[in-house]
Amino acid sequence: MNSDFQVYLKEKTNFFETELKKELEELSYPETIAKGMEYALLNGGKRLRPFLLFTTLELLNQDIQKGVKSAIGIEMIHSYSLVHDDLPALDNDDYRRGKLTTHKVFGEAEAILIGDALLTYAFYMLSEKNLNILSFEQITKIISKTSAYSGINGMIGGQMIDIESENKKINLETLKYIHKHKTGKLIKLPIEIACIIADVSEDKRLVLEEYAELIGLAFQVKDDILDIEGTFEELGKPVGSDDDLHKATYPSILGMEESKKILNETVERAKKIIHNMFGEEKGKILISLADFIRERKS
């Protein structure tokens, strides 16, 4: 992996962690909710979504400070979805990133409320906390996009079809719908928010949106592969969990060889469109990120 990219990734991740902890310091009561939100948010995530937002802003010659509150809001929504995903009624997972899941530490009812608190506070971050940073029009667009991508036409819609597809034989189109909505929309969101903040031209916006869709697909295909080939030490959770729940995955429908071929083709296409629009030097971080998604072990 490119060492310059690793340095850049660590720099942006550390910056985000610092800003996130500052926001969490404002939350204290009820203590169970505040501690639970902190536990769920500081549980060692990859911070892919904040990283995408900051990287795209810099690519578009914007100050990343303009995206801090939005990045925290997105990560709160992502974390709430994981807290609820892990509950006994859904995936019933005991471990997340090598640590006990939120409901295992705080209780099941508490975890439901902790997830609810993360979701609702996210929109406080996107609205109130952005007032002195962005225009009303930008804030409205960001809230509208986030609402759409988090709900029935996005993450929740994908999650619902995922649940309904357990123990069933589904076709590739249904699997694509699940991945595009359950995971892909929240990977696309930070790039679209950066485009709103930068007021970018349509040609660049369309290329960036296509890139976001491609790496969202690559991320999920790689997840499916890791669920078979990974280890608990690498993934921080038991392997084969999709198989245990009889969930359809790319390997289960197309086989491992074809899944890896799709992963490679998707990553190369994502790299190519960034190279063509922005050039190798200016687009190098997004190009390296596509490689990072393909090569990751967790």
pTM: 0.88
* Alpha-carbon span 96 to 102, nearest angstrom: 9
CA nearest to 138, candidates 62, 193, 185? 193
Instruction: Output the pLDDT for position 163.
Output: 87
CA nearest to 48, candidates 79, 13, 20? 13
Average pLDDT value for the chain: 90
- Using an 8 Å Cβ cutoff, are 52 and 16 in contact? no
Which tokens is 215 given?
């790496």
CA nearest to 210, candidates 195, 197, 229? 195
Element housing 166 (H / E) = none
Which domains occur in the chain, in start order?
3-295 (1.10.600.10)
For the ranges 23-32, 247-256, 263-272, 285-294, the lowest mean pLDDT is seen at 247-256
* Alpha-carbon span 17 to 176, nearest angstrom: 32
- Using an 8 Å Cβ cutoff, are 212 and 188 in contact? yes
Report DSSP state, residue 28: -
Pairing of strands 95-96, 99-100: antiparallel
Per-residue pLDDT tens digits for 194-236: 999 999 999 999 999 999 999 999 999 998 999 888 665 555 5
Per-residue pLDDT tens digits for 77-97: 999 999 999 999 888 888 887
Instruction: Output the pLDDT for position 58.
Output: 94
Q: Which of residues 45 and 52 earns the better pLDDT score?
A: 52
Residue type at position 84: H
Per-residue pLDDT tens digits for 87-143: 998 888 888 878 889 999 899 999 999 999 999 999 999 999 999 999 999 999 999
The label of the residue with tokens 């998707």 reads 266
Which tokens is 224 given?
């499916």
Question: 46 pLDDT exceeds 90?
Answer: no
Question: 272 pLDDT exceeds 70?
Answer: yes
* Alpha-carbon span 58 to 61, nearest angstrom: 5
SS3 96: strand
